[in-house]
Amino acid sequence: MSKKNQNEAPGQEQEVLEEQAEQTAETAQQPEAQTEAPDPLLTELESLKDQVAQQEDKYLRLAAEYDNYRKRTAKEKEAMWSDAKADTAGAFLPVYDNLERALKQETADEAFKKGVEMTMNQLKEVLSKLGITEIPALGQTFDPNLHNAVMHIDDENFGENEVAEVFQAGFQCGEKVIRFAMVKVAN
């Protein structure tokens, strides 16, 4: 009996192994069937992933475009403010020139002279509060970006390209020149 059981046992094991092999073969065949005919849910999932990626790209581009717009308009606003200050100051420069000429004239009336000086100081203070500064010229080296040379002299007392005389003061607002200084240059 034990011999029979031993003989039967290997046969049963053989049958069990064959069944497992068949199940493995069927399982192996099922994925092949899936790859042959794509699952509609997987296709739809891939399509939705592509749409999400496209929408995310559109969103990022729109956000970047808006950020650039915001920076550009802020820069334009600042430039408009600076231009408006420069234009306004430019309109007052003839008044500055006339007050400067009045201060150079001799007068017997000290009260009148004191009034002109006070007006000139007040105008200078207002210009400085606006960030408008006078371009240094007298004794400086001639700079065509800041000075307008209207005369040229040969004088040994001055250095090469040195400003010898200022006829009209120049002004700038930050780096922007409102009016060039009108000068006489020595070589």
What is the three-state SS of 28-69? HHHHHHHHHCCCHHHHHHHHHHHHHHHHHHHHHHHHHHHHHH
Domains and CATH numbers, the chain: 42-186 (2.30.22.10)
Specify the DSSP class assigned to residue 180. Answer: P
Query: Binning pLDDT at 50, 70 and 90, where does residue 124 land?
Result: very high
Name the token pair of 161.
């390209």
Taking residues 136-157, report their average pLDDT.
Answer: 90
Banded pLDDT at 132 (limits 50, 70, 90): very high
Helix (H, G, I), strand (E, B) or coil at 134: strand
- Rounded distance between C-alpha atoms, residue 179 and residue 169, angstroms: 8
Q: Give the Cα separation of 1 and 94 in Å (integer).
A: 132
- 7-11, 21-25, 65-69, range with greatest mean pLDDT: 65-69
Rounded CA separation 140/109 (Å): 35
pLDDT at 151: 92
**Closest C-alpha among 155, 131, 158, 136 to residue 147:** 136
Q: What is the mean pLDDT of the chain?
A: 85
Q: Which residues pair with 186 in a beta bridge?
A: 153, 162
**8 A C-beta contact, residue 152 and residue 184:** yes
The pLDDT value recorded for residue 52 is 96
Confidence of residue 46 (pLDDT cuts 50, 70, 90): very high
Q: Residue 164 in contact with residue 139, Cβ under 8 Å? A: no
- The mean pLDDT of 20-44, rounded to a whole number, is 65
Any residues with CB less than 8 A from the CB of 141 and at least 6 apart, and which? 159, 161, 162, 163
pTM value is 0.60
Q: Measured between alpha carbons, how far is 54 from 159 in angstroms, rounded to an integer?
A: 68
% of the chain at pLDDT higher than 70: 80
